[in-house]
Amino acid sequence: ATVRNSIEELAGWAQVERPALTQIAGPDGSVAILFSDIEGSTELNERLGDQEWVRLLARHDAAVRSAIERHGGHVVKTQGDGFMAAFGSPEPAVRSALAIQRAFDRGRRAGPAAVLVRIGIHHGDVVHRDNDIFGRNVAQAARVAALAEGGEVLVSETVAEALAGCEGLTLTEPREVQLKGLDAPVHVAVIRQLRRGTSQH
């Protein structure tokens, strides 16, 4: 069967894993929500063939899970090559996302099996039910991720504001976008990790 790849479907899909999400929420009950998937996964599957695609997907899944868990996050659910994860605050979510991108950095440069992961992160209040999370902020995180390009970590304005002063991180100039389902435009920015010896100025 064809592996479906849709961040928006993942945002509303039945849960697969059941971490104690209420325990990782911040003091105000909010969480940082991360969505990721592989850009152009259907085309990549076609190019590689099913057997090689399944092997690549296993490596991708292991790398994403490892980065999420190392930074204190929890995988909420998965679908195909898509992941939804929750963190207690924005900084570990962003550092997890950057670790995921580093894991695929060499594959980004060349080769028939180049893996380009797109990641979006938003932070806000959510509705907890049966160890799953719902609500407009979950939908907004999914839509931020859907705007990201392969190799990018795209964050909402609430995440960008929370990262002020975080060492080793830099953001591009925010840009205004219109997200599906929201009346007012919002600002998003790409975040990067500075290399050692690089100034933020």
Whole-prediction pTM:
0.80
pLDDT tens digit string along 68-102?
999 999 898 888 899 999 998 999 999 999 999 99
Look up residue 41 and give its amino acid: S
Written as one string, the DSSP assignment of 109-120 is HSSTT---EEEE
Q: What pLDDT shows up at residue 195?
A: 58
Written in H, E and C, the secondary structure of 120-161 is EEEEECCEEECCEEECHHHHHHHHHHHHCCCCCEEEEHHHHH
d(CA 124, CA 137): 6
Main-chain phi, psi angles of 167, to 5 degrees: -65, 135
The residues pairing with 122 across neighbouring beta strands, listed in sequence order, are: 33
Q: What pLDDT shows up at residue 25?
A: 60
pLDDT at residue 11 greater than cutoff 60: no
